[in-house]
Chains A and B, each alone.
Chain A
Amino acid sequence: MADAHANEHHGPGFQAYLVVFGALSIFTAVSFIVNVAVRNESLTPTAGFVLILTVAVIKAVLVGTYFMHLIVDWAKLYFFIFPTFILAAMFVVVLLPDIVLGWPHQGHVPSPPVGNTAPPRPGEEP
């Protein structure tokens, strides 16, 4: 029966779970150590940011692949999980132009002019 089949364990085994747990713990420690290195100026903030976010993505992939059994179910579920990731990334991308609203405040570009800046027509007073 479908229910009995569904209740059997499919996916990684006990040891695989423990190995993934160990990897996740190590990666968490790596994030913390990289942060300390950035605070001590042993690493640049940009390098630290890239390393920490890379570690976060690796951890998320490990949890999704092994703990959430995507290593078994990906072929059955990719058709809507993958577009979700694309939409999520696009959501951030479409908001990125709003960063330029902070540029005048940050001094990167002059502030936009306020009011009517068109030159006066001949005969009109400025």
Chain B
Amino acid sequence: MAHAVEEEPVLHMGVPVNHGKLAMWIFLATEIMFFTGLIGVYIILRNGTPTDKEPWPRPEDVHLREWIGAVNTFVLICSSLTVVLAHYALGKGNLGRAVQYVAVTLLLGTVFLVIKGFEYHSKWQHDILPGHVYEPSRLDLQRGAEYLTTIRAQLTHISESTAGAPIASQCRELLAKLELKEGLAATTPREMGKEIKELYEKNEKLFEEHPELHLAVPVSFGNLWASCYFVMTGFHALHVFGGLVAFVIILAMALVGRLGIQHANMLELVGLYWHFVDIVWIFLFPLLYLV
């Protein structure tokens, strides 16, 4: 006689995911806390410090182009798609297609870093660096003297480069105010800062069309903005680079014939990391470029 044997339930120890996935998610949890620290402090600084008289820098004050950030966001979203399609292809046994998708992901990640490099170069050219930005409320004593020296050189360069244009005569007027008479300039650094800001706003289109012309417009909270910007985007860029290293390793394995269907799980884990990097940028872009 057959007896219905009641099977004892099979007990499993631990979480019902493979060890690699669990480890990657725990790592991502630590990364969430890391970026929350940076973003949280940025939110506090952004909302706790500026005033009506000294507002937080606008994108045009710090030579930030929103459309470049939007392009970078789209590039990372495309790369997230290609890495998940790579995993999908490898899971279905299509090794060649998976390698192609990984190569495209690597390319898109590189494009992201190149665009970021151009942005950093622009900041370097305009001296929008932590500790370098002249601020309207801090143009006293030595800092004020440095500002006048910088402005004198820039106004001279602009007036020589734009001979005949209205801006050239405007620059010469300001240069005249910087001429020392009996050891004193006709204007203080703070007043000069206001006039430089007016000069820039009157000729904003010219400066956009001629990026080689630089004018050190004082930016309130410019140094704080630069610190936040470079820390947040810098750490994000380092994470992007780390992901690219992983993709290079996968492509190298494919090149020497060592990548196989058995590595689909590995590709999924690298993809999880890459998607997290994408999610961080999804929040960094609006916080830094838009709002």
A residues near B (Cβ < 8 Å) are: 2-4, 6-9, 13-14, 17-18, 21, 24-25, 28-29, 31-32, 34-35, 45, 48-49, 52-53, 55-56, 59-60, 63-64, 66-69, 73, 76-77, 79-81, 84-85, 87-88, 91-92, 95-96, 98-102, 105-107
Contacts and interface: CB of A to CB of B under 8 A. Distances in A.
B261 interface: yes
Contact of B73 (A8, A28, A88, A91): A28
Q: Is the interface of A mostly helix, strand, loop or mixed?
A: helix
A68 B39 CA distance: 22
Contacts of B87: 9
A56 B262 contact: no
7 contacts: A32-B290, A56-B283, A60-B283, A67-B271, A76-B16, A80-B29, A88-B36
A7 B265 contact: yes
A79 B15 CA distance: 10
B255 interface: no
A105 B29 CA distance: 36
Interface residues of B, number: 58
B224 to A, nearest CB: 12
B84 A67 contact: yes
Given A24-B77, A28-B73, A80-B25, A59 B17 contact: no
B240 to A, nearest CB: 15
Contact of A99 (B47, B77, B262, B282): B47
Contacts of B261: 7
A99 B44 contact: yes
A106 B56 CA distance: 12
A77 B17 contact: yes
Q: Which 5 residue pairs of A and B lie closest in terms of their CB atoms, listed nearest first?
A: A9-B91, A99-B48, A102-B48, A88-B36, A92-B40
A100 B44 CA distance: 10
Contact of B15 (A29, A77, A102, A106): A77
Contacts of B268: 69
Interface string B1-43: 0000000000000011110011001100100110011011101
Contacts of B26: 80
Contact of A91 (B15, B33, B91, B263): B33
Interface stretch (B148-156, B164-172, B272-280): B272-280
Given A2-B18, A77-B22, A100-B48, 5 more contacts: A6-B265, A7-B265, A66-B84, A84-B32, A107-B51
B49 interface: yes
Given A73-B17, A81-B29, A91-B40, A35 B49 contact: no
A98 B79 CA distance: 38
Nearest to B46: A99
Contacts of A105: 49, 51
B237 interface: no
A7 B15 contact: no
B119 interface: no
A18 B88 CA distance: 12
Given A35-B290, A67-B275, A76-B17, A28 B70 contact: yes
Interface in B36-89: 36-37, 39-41, 43-44, 47-52, 66-67, 70, 73-74, 77-78, 80-81, 84-85, 87-88
A55 B291 CA distance: 13
A56 B33 contact: no
Nearest to B41: A95
Contacts of A7: 91, 261-265
Contacts of B51: 105-107
Interface in B246-291: 261-265, 268, 271-272, 275-276, 278-279, 282-283, 285-286, 289-291
